[in-house]
């Protein structure tokens, strides 16, 4: 397969695709919110899907051995992580696994520790299940968002704390945790005997030359207390096909998870399975080109925003920039930029209304237009 960067420059009209992203705002607003890119998926995925659709007969389907092998090979190649096929749990999405984990591994009133601002399902999962959400602040250290470790220890030490929900790479903020940082977090999980759910859905979207370290791969104890959640959906833009997987090495935890899952959470559908095999087996070249394109978009955004009062820390991973707009003194920053024609995610949904999250997983020309709209809105605001 040959891929040139121009595939990411192509403008695709998604207005008639029932796209969540493109249905939220009127046509005059560029949607830059939900974590969904405006790029076509790689040809290898389209080819595999077409082939499967052509075959016809769409009955119940189990997970092919080829997918288990493709995942194992992906985890070894990218992270040096050897995972047994029996430790994988195949799922129709990652969010259901977050919610299910909270319900299986804790009981009403138990404390769930969550560093944030963070992707809102990590905080919603404990709240919807009547658990006590123990939020832990994040602070900026050496230009990166990291959990406040003193606060984290206090939270973990609470007598009702049972679980820790981690997002690595972090959404929003894009931190790729280092081994030292992960070991420090693990030390607390071990000391206070917490089950860890590590949402690693963005692990294949690292824009710098940094390794992703699966939390469960740190050591034997981490492997024993961790539910790792991963998916090809963000990386290959196939979220609508509904496929994710969990790695649960501890057989007691895996059995408990599977027991509650049975009958409640559907198996992944065959098109999701088909796409996942193609992505992991054949998508590497496209993936590399994507990372380069996203890094260029990140750099463009960072450079242009550096001339404005909006603050953006260096983003190590994801295509979701976390923008501090507090210096603008706006009453409703989210609405201000929607009115200016840029529909970002409201920081309030992640835990801080002084921030906005901008999705730059789009053609450069679209990003340029959005930046221009932001700059014009700022000029008008500053002049008023």
Ligand X SMILES: Cc1ncc(COP(=O)(O)O)c(C=O)c1O
- Please report whether residue 75 would count as binding ligand X according to CB under 6 A: no
Nearer CB in complex with ligand X: 231/301: 231
The Cα–Cα gap between 212 and 275 comes to 23
User: Which run of H or E residues covers position 104?
Assistant: helix 95-105
CB of 243 to ligand X, least distance (A): 8
CB nearer to ligand X: give 244 or 305. 244
Order of strands across the sheet that contains 144-147? 88-91, 244-248, 226-230, 195-199, 161-167, 111-116, 132-141, 144-147
Binder among 32, 146, 167, 374 for ligand X (CB under 6 A): 167
Nearer to ligand X, 42 or 116 (CB): 116
Q: Which range in 89-97, 211-219, 325-333, 354-362 contacts ligand X by CB under 6 A?
A: 89-97
* Rounded least distance, CB 138 to ligand X, Å: 14
Task: Among 110, 199, 282, 324, indicate the residue that binds ligand X (CB under 6 A).
Answer: 199
* Residue 337 neighbours by CB distance under 10 Å: 27
Site string for ligand X, 26-45 (x = CB under 6 A): ---------x----------
The whole-angstrom distance between residue 157's C-alpha and the CA centroid of its chain comes to 28
Q: Does residue 63 interact with ligand X by CB under 6 A?
A: no
Distances (CA, A) of 16 to 12, 23, 360, 365: 11, 9, 21, 21
User: 9 is written with which tokens?
Assistant: 């420059």
Which residue's structure tokens are 């090495």? 249
Instruction: Specify the residue, 98 or 301, whose C-beta has the smaller distance to ligand X.
Output: 98
> In the complex, what is the shortest distance from the CB of residue 338 to ligand X, in angstroms, rounded to a whole number?
20
Residues 223-242 that bind ligand X (CB under 6 A): 231, 233, 239
Cα separation of 175 and 208, whole Å?
11
Q: Does 201 bind ligand X (CB under 6 A)?
A: yes
Contact between 95 and ligand X (CB under 6 A)?
yes
Q: Which helix (H) or strand (E) holds 261?
A: helix 251-261
| Residues at the site binding ligand X, with contacts judged by CB under 6 A | 35, 93-95, 119, 167, 171, 199, 201, 231, 233, 239, 244
């Amino acid at each position: 397969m040959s891929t040139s960067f121009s595939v990411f420059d192509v403008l695709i009209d998604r207005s008639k695709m029932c796209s969540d992203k493109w249905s939220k705002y009127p046509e005059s607003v560029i949607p830059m919110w939900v974590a969904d890119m405006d790029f076509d998926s790689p040809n290898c995925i389209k080819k595999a899907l077409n082939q499967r659709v052509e075959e016809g007969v769409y009955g119940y389907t189990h997970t092919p051995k080829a997918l288990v092998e493709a995942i194992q090979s992906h985890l070894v190649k990218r992270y040096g992580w050897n995972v047994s096929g029996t430790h994988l749990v195949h799922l129709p999405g990652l969010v259901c696994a977050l919610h299910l984990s909270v319900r299986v591994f804790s009981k009403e009133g138990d404390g769930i520790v969550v560093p944030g601002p963070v992707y809102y399902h990590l905080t919603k999962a404990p709240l919807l299940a009547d658990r006590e959400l123990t939020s832990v602040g994040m602070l900026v250290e050496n230009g990166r968002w990291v959990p406040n470790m003193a606060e984290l220890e206090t939270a973990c030490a609470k007598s009702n704390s049972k679980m820790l929900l981690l997002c690595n790479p972090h959404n929003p903020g894009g931190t790729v945790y280092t081994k030292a940082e992960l070991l420090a977090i693990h030390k607390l999980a071990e000391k206070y005997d917490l089950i860890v759910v590590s949402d690693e859905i963005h692990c294949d979207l690292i824009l710098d030359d940094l390794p992703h370290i699966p939390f469960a791969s740190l050591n034997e104890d981490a492997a024993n207390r961790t539910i790792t959640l991963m998916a090809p959906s963000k990386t290959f833009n196939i979220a609508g096909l509904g496929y994710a997987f969990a790695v649960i090495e501890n057989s007691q935890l895996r059995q408990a998870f599977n027991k509650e899952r049975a009958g409640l959470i559907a198996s992944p559908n065959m098109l999701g399975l088909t796409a996942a095999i193609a992505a992991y087996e054949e998508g590497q070249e496209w993936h590399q080109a994507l990372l380069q394109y996203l890094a260029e978009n990140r750099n463009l955004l960072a450079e242009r925003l550096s001339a404005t009062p909006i603050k953006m820390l260096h983003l190590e991973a994801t295509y979701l920039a976390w923008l501090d707009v507090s210096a603008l003194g706006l009453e409703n920053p989210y609405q201000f930029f929607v009115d200016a024609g840029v529909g970002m995610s409201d920081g309030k949904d992640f835990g801080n209304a002084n921030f906005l999250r901008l999705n730059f997983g789009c053609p450069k020309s679209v990003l340029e237009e959005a930046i221009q709209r932001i700059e014009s809105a700022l000029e008008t605001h500053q002049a008023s």
